[in-house]
Chain A
């Protein structure tokens, strides 16, 4: 008998799939930071993504962020409230500390 794993993080999965398909990243991290905010346990509202892709070569930061925002526009319209983006090229990633800092602490403005 095969068991189907229960997916309780559909948003995170969807973000992963879309970023993978669009950017073929050499490194991808998707952090659900919702727990840091005033939302029910298990929420999928606040995310931070780290995308390392050669598709960002020769593109200014604003354009890289726009590309990520565009790919995830459905998620942003349907529940994802905050999206923090780190978009690097492979060479920038190699030259960096490879540590992704956590987003700043919530100040209570969610949903207001």
Chain B
């Protein structure tokens, strides 16, 4: 029985190698780390949250959505960790950060809700957005008022 199994897997391996050399190579090279690195760089702003921006399922995630809305930032990638347990765990390992939400700007990890709120209050968020070419709506508002 074991012999048959070995033979089968050997045949399968050969077929797989012959027919799908590219995808095998792909599977081998894309580690979870690379996967998340690509995910967080896919958009200027990337958020891992509970629920979706239209319906956040957690007060902290909701606060993140509201802060970005105030800055006129609505076109960001939002990953709902409640919909995918592997992302919920994977992103925590990737950033070594234990809680959700998690925010990335320009591919860089910014932190969670508390940090974003602080950056919003002290004006740093406007600067960080500017660095990746996003003009904050609050900045435009300020200019109009001047």
Contacts and interface: CB of A to CB of B under 8 A. Distances in A.
Contact of B59 (A66, A69, A107): A107
B57 interface: yes
B46 interface: no
B50 A61 contact: no
Q: Is the interface of A mostly helix, strand, loop or mixed?
A: mixed
A63 to B, nearest CB: 10
Contacts of A73: 98
Given A69-B99, A108-B57, 10 more contacts: A61-B119, A65-B114, A69-B98, A83-B99, A84-B60, A107-B57, A107-B61, A109-B56, A109-B57, A110-B58
25 contacts: A61-B119, A62-B111, A62-B115, A65-B111, A73-B98, A77-B98, A83-B99, A84-B114, A103-B59, A103-B60, A104-B59, A104-B63, A106-B59, A107-B50, A107-B51, A107-B57, A107-B58, A107-B59, A107-B61, A108-B57, A109-B56, A109-B58, A109-B61, A109-B82, A110-B58
Contacts of B12: none
Interface residues of A, number: 22
A107 B62 contact: yes
A48 B23 CA distance: 46
Contact of B115 (A65, A83, A105, A109): A65
Contacts of B59: 103-107
Interface string B58-95: 11111100000000000000000010000000000000
Interface in A19-68: 61-62, 65-66
A62 B112 CA distance: 9
Ranked 8 nearest A-B pairs via Cβ: A109-B57, A104-B59, A109-B50, A109-B58, A76-B98, A104-B63, A107-B57, A62-B111
Interface in A73-101: 73, 76-77, 82-86
Given A69-B97, A69-B98, A62 B60 contact: no
Nearest to B82: A112
B118 interface: yes
B99 A109 contact: no
Contact of B60 (A65, A86, A104, A112): A104
Nearest to A33: B59
B113 A84 contact: yes
A112 B50 CA distance: 9
A107 B98 contact: no
- Of residues A66, A76, A86, A107, which shows the largest number of chain B Cβ atoms within 10 Å of its Cβ? A107
